[in-house]
Structure 1
Amino acid sequence: MDHTVPWQKGGRTDHDNLSCLCAKHHMFKTHEHWDYTQPEPGTIIAISPAGKTYTTRPPPF
């Protein structure tokens, strides 16, 4: 589990701000200057250093 908005920057520890990132994507976020946003719980938008956007959404119930 990872905070979308880092805890040190005021990110809360709740379902609106947590996501499951694999080790590779956590490394991208931490060391490679990728930005992640979570506009709604479960929807993750990853923005590469080049500005390309990737969106993932949870499967429908």
Structure 2
Amino acid sequence: MKRFLSHHEIAALLFLASAPALAVANTPDINALSQEQLVEFVTLPSQVSVVQLTPDGRALLKRLSAA
């Protein structure tokens, strides 16, 4: 069962929508979003790890903006 996101998690999701963040932003909020499969950790060809939205994360933000 899906759970409600905290306001910190929603803020992190909005922040990541504007730009992927370096994986050093590995916070409890980002980890929770990862567990909900709303963000993912990706390694770029330059070997830099970033956190970016998944399709589910983008869909959630789209639903929030329609409200």
**Superposed pair shares fold, TM > 0.5:** no
* TM-score of Structure 1 vs Structure 2, range by shorter chain: 0.3 to 0.5
Q: Which has the higher helix share?
A: 2
Q: Which has the higher strand share?
A: 1
* Larger RCO, structures 1/2 (Cα 8 Å, 6+ apart): 2
TM normalised by structure 1 equals 0.36
TM normalised by structure 2 equals 0.34
